[in-house]
Homo-oligomer: A and B are copies of this chain.
Amino acid sequence: MIRYPNGKAFEHQAKVERKKKRTSEEISLSAANRGMNLENDINISLEYYREQNIALIYKRPTPINIVKVDYSHGAKIIDAYFEEQSTTDYNGIYRGMYIDFEAKNTKNKTSFPLANITDHQIVHLKKVKLHGGIAFFVISFQLRDEIYLLDSEYVINYYGSGKRKSIPYEEVKKNGCLIEIGYMPRLHLIEAIDTMYFSK
């Protein structure tokens, strides 16, 4: 690059840099939003299903360890900490069956990393299966705009084998069921559950 004494090239270059930065910020922001929105999209979809009496599935509240409560004006919690969910985020009932699942988001395009799944969750999902319930993961590949329902069996097997730290995207696609994205409900979760567990 030619450097002019008046600094115009610098300015131009700075503009280009700023534009690049903004664009990548916008992209990552929108991707982050999609990530943040997975939980929200599931919640509003479940609300729709509850209102329509289609399924009764709720998000479990985040467990909080309360250290101190101020009772001087009502009960105000003034010292507390988030605790790790020892189970999964969602459970309920659909067509008489117990339903239990965890939702995870990944920015990885080629595989679903198992890093953010806890041992507790795997143990819990194994037990759900043992007791005759339906247990799965909702996996969002946010850079692909694709969300899959994947039976927990696949995740448990990959997790337990210790060989791999992630499940290849192609495996999720092959063994999972694509969850259609719409308006009402936002995520067609029940259709995916029907296809996966009630179609035979």
A interface, CB within 8 angstroms of B:
50, 53, 55-56, 58, 60-64, 74-82, 87, 91-98, 100, 124, 127-128, 130-133
Contacts and interface: CB of A to CB of B under 8 A. Distances in A.
A154 to B, nearest CB: 21
29 contacts: A53-B130, A55-B131, A56-B128, A56-B131, A60-B60, A60-B61, A61-B61, A61-B62, A61-B64, A62-B64, A64-B77, A64-B80, A76-B79, A76-B80, A76-B81, A77-B77, A77-B80, A77-B81, A77-B82, A78-B79, A91-B91, A93-B98, A93-B128, A93-B131, A93-B132, A95-B131, A96-B98, A96-B131, A96-B133
Contacts of A55: 131
Q: What are the 5 tightest A-B residue pairs by CB atom distance, in nearest-first order?
A: A96-B132, A93-B98, A77-B80, A61-B63, A61-B61
A95 to B, nearest CB: 7
Contacts of A61: 60-64
Given A78-B78, A127-B50, A95 B132 contact: yes
A192 B79 CA distance: 39
Contacts of A95: 131-132
Contacts of A79: 76-78
A127 B58 CA distance: 13
Contacts of A58: 87
Contacts of A100: 93
Nearest to A87: B58
A87 to B, nearest CB: 6
